[in-house]
């Protein structure tokens, strides 16, 4: 078994003092704690929507993800948690090949969306990103009208033949994102003029307008106030009736509130994955327990 001490310390993109302190605390805490040979808990499910095996990710020579295997079930909400720099966002970005946009990044392993190999060189990545949509940390509406933000994807994917069909997609998407009542009278106003929480719901509407099967969310509430956060969390629960969702979050309370299963990452390893209640009340691994009890952050 490897210990944290024996592993290369990953370098963080943003080396501010708080991150360095968190890393030092994490390393002190994990010095003598062996990683499990295999992820503990229940990383696999029957008939998964996404089947991910032996995933390894490298940024040039720095390995950020080490042999991670897990499933994401249909209509399941899975949270990815762990200390800063443990690889949550890197792993999430593998699921719709957003890492392709980073030149030095290489991904290895078997990653499947139902029968589809995500890294099949013949795969159309634009189509993949319609099937596996993504909502980012910072709301990023296009500098276009509210209507055009939502209509953009359906237009480029040819999902509506008539104006009437497009109107219907825009309305349904805004309704599902819980934004319709707030914007129905100003659909042609700029999306960037909305509040932060509204912009994030607009981005969710834009993502679901192309009828994705999976929605990836990378810290979707970190730029929002508690009221806007509560709205997004409520929305995640509603959306899970129609979509499969994977969410990266720094908030353990949020993971506990919104997800069915939770995956605990540590220095690029998946230490434990279990139903969310077990992770937060009876974690099986010492590293998970140390993290959820706040012994490092
Ligand atoms: N674009 C990049 N280029 C080089 N290295 C990167 C890049 N993005 C991430 N890394 C490295 O990969 C490792 C994992 O980073 P990642 O951002 O995935 O972690 P994280 O758990 O999401 O962190 P945080 O919670 O701080 O957002 C870190 O060592 C980081 O420095």
- Count CB-CB contacts under 10 A for residue 260: 17
Nearest CA to ligand 1 atom 4: 59
Ligand 1 within 6 A of 90 CB? Answer: yes
pLDDT (0 to 100) of residue 31: 64
Instruction: Provide the token pair at 173.
Output: 């998407």
Whether 145 and 226 have beta carbons less than 8 Å apart is answered as no
CA of 261 to the centre of ligand 1 (A): 23
d(CA 85, CA 4): 14
DSSP structural state of residue 162:
S
- Which ligand 1 atom is at minimum distance from the Cα of 91? 18
So what's the pLDDT on residue 6?
Answer: 38
Q: Three-class SS of residue 208?
A: helix
Residue 28 pLDDT: 67
- Ligand 1, atom 30: nearest CA belongs to which residue? 12
Residue 81 to residue 191: CA distance in whole angstroms: 31
Residue 32's pLDDT is 61
Structure-token pair, residue 198:
């509204």
Residue 256's pLDDT is 96
* Cα-based torsion angle of the residue sequence 178, 182, 186, 192 in order, rounded to the nearest 10 degrees: -70
| 8 Å CB contact between 92 and 248 | yes
- From the CA of 90, how far away is ligand 1's center (Å)? 6
The helix/strand/coil state of 223 is: coil
Ligand 1 pocket: which of 19, 23, 59 to mutate (most atoms <8 Å of CB)?
A: 59
Q: Quick one: pLDDT at residue 220?
A: 92
Q: Give the pLDDT of the chain (297 residues) as one tens digit per residue.
A: 443 333 333 344 455 777 677 667 667 666 666 677 789 999 999 999 999 999 999 999 999 999 999 999 999 999 999 999 999 999 999 999 999 999 999 999 999 999 999 999 999 999 999 999 999 999 999 999 999 999 999 999 999 889 999 999 999 999 999 999 999 999 999 999 999 999 999 999 999 999 999 999 999 998 888 988 998 999 899 899 999 999 999 999 999 999 999 999 999 999 999 999 999 999 999 999 999 998 876
Residue 294: per-residue pLDDT: 87
ipTM of the complex: 0.98
Of 291, 270, 288, nearest to 278 by C-alpha is 288
CB of 83 within 6 A of ligand 1: the answer is no
Whose alpha carbon is nearest atom 26 of ligand 1?
A: 84
C-alpha of residue 63 to centroid of ligand 1, in Å:
10
Residues 6+ positions from 51 with CB-CB distance below 8 Å: 71, 110, 111, 112
Cα-to-centroid distance, 18 and ligand 1 (Å): 15
Report whether residue 198 contacts ligand 1, using a CB cutoff of 6 Å.
no
Q: What is the pLDDT of residue 17?
A: 76
**How far apart, in whole angstroms, are the C-alpha atoms of residue 45 and residue 105?**
29
**Backbone dihedral angles phi then psi of residue 274, each to the nearest 5 degrees:** -155, 175
**Interval between CA 88 and ligand 1 midpoint (Å):** 8
SS3 of 218, please? Answer: strand
**How far from each other are the two terminal CA atoms of the chain, in whole angstroms?**
24
Question: Dihedrals φ, ψ of 33, to 5°?
Answer: -95, 115
Could you tell me the pTM of the whole model? 0.89
């Amino acid at each position: 078994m490897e210990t944290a001490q024996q592993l290369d310390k990953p370098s963080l993109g943003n080396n501010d003092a708080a991150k360095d302190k968190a890393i030092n605390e994490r390393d002190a805490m994990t010095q003598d704690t062996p990683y499990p040979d295999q992820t503990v808990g229940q990383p696999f499910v029957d008939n998964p929507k996404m089947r991910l095996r032996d995933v390894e990710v490298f940024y040039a020579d720095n390995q950020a993800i080490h042999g991670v295997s897990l499933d994401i079930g249909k209509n399941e909400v899975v949270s990815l948690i762990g200390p800063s720099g443990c690889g949550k966002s890197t792993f999430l970005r593998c699921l719709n090949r957003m890492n392709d946009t980073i030149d030095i990044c290489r991904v290895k392993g078997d990653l499947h969306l139902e029968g589809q190999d995500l890294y099949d060189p013949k795969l159309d990545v634009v189509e993949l990103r319609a099937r596996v949509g993504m909502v980012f940390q910072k709301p990023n509406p296009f500098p276009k009208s509210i209507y055009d933000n939502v209509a953009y994807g359906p237009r480029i994917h040819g999902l509506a033949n008539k104006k009437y069909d497009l109107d219907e997609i825009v309305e349904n998407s805004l309704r599902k994102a819980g934004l319709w009542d707030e914007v129905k009278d100003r659909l042609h106003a700029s999306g960037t003029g909305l509040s932060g929480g509204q912009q994030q719901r607009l981005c969710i509407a834009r993502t679901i307008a192309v009828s994705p099967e999976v929605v990836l969310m990378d810290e979707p509430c970190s730029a929002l106030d508690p009221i806007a956060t509560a709205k997004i969390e409520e929305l995640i629960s509603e959306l899970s009736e129609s979509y499969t969702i994977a969410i990266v979050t720094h908030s353990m309370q949020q993971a506990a509130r919104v997800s069915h299963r939770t995956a605990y990452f540590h220095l690029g390893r998946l230490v434990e994955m279990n139903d969310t209640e077990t992770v937060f009340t009876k974690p099986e691994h010492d590293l998970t327990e140390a993290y959820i009890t706040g012994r490092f952050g």
